[in-house]
Amino acid sequence: MLCRGCSKQSYSGHHFTCLICFDYSLCEDCHSKKHISMFHTNSHSMQCVGLQTADNQLSLACPFCSEQGFFWDGLVSHIQSDHNGETAEVLCPLCVAQSALVNFLKYDELLVHMNYTHEFGTFTPQREGPIIQYINQHVNPATGIPIFFGTRNDSVMFSYQFSADLPYDRHGYIFTEGKDPRNRG
């Protein structure tokens, strides 16, 4: 990882990645000195990469207001309550903290991404169960938009038929509450 402050290629300690700038990371020393550039300012949210709490949770930064110290569920609630309708495109702090690749996302896309990709507060690219596997194959996880395979009579044709007795939200996602949706007893 290249530090954009001192240009070091490798360094010890944690590093910080900007949730607003493209490819902008700082080593721990440059971050503590509040290094800025032509594009990066101190008002930008920075996510610490690789730092976990004693109970193995990541401390996350809000990508919109720079507030620090959130756990995953608290960050989602904070974004929904304090930043509804934000127009900035930002990186997902949980993906950044786990060094996963992610695109810049708008407010709605970020919420869908966080609730779908990080349902359990971790990066979960593949989940178990046939319905979840179907969703993983046919829904873009970054945007939450279904991937369609063709149409007939102006209706979307899916290669799998959804069950009518499963609860869906307004975006077509199944409410799983962290459980297999087939076992609703």
User: Could you give the percent of the chain with pLDDT greater than 90?
Assistant: 24
Number of neighbours of residue 105 by Cβ within 10 angstroms: 21
pLDDT at 61 over 50: yes
Q: Please, which pLDDT band fits residue 139 given cuts at 50, 70 and 90?
A: low
Q: What is the mean pLDDT of the chain?
A: 73
Q: What pLDDT sits at residue 181?
A: 47
Q: What pLDDT sits at residue 185?
A: 47
Burial (0-12, 13-18, 19+ Cβ within 10 Å), 66: middle
Residue type (1 letter), 119: E
pLDDT at 144 over 80: no
Residue type (1 letter), 58: L
This prediction has a pTM of: 0.61
Burial (0-12, 13-18, 19+ Cβ within 10 Å), 125: exposed
User: Could you give the percent of the chain with pLDDT greater than 70?
Assistant: 60
More confident residue, 132 or 83: 83
Q: Are 174 and 166 in contact (CB under 8 A)?
A: yes
More confident residue, 68 or 10: 68
Q: What pLDDT sits at residue 143?
A: 58
Q: What pLDDT sits at residue 56?
A: 62
Q: Find the mean pLDDT for residues 51-70.
A: 81
Q: What sign results for the dihedral spanned by CA atoms 60, 63, 64, 66? A: positive
pLDDT at 182 over 70: no
- In the chain, where are the structural domains located? 15-107, 126-185
What lies within 8 Å, CB to CB, of 104 at 6+ separation is: 22, 89, 90, 91
pLDDT at 10 over 90: no
More confident residue, 166 or 136: 136
Angle between helices 72-82 and 107-117 (to 10 degrees): 160
Q: What sign results for the dihedral spanned by CA atoms 172, 175, 180, 182? A: negative
pLDDT in tens, 17-46: 999 998 899 999 999 999 988 888 989 999
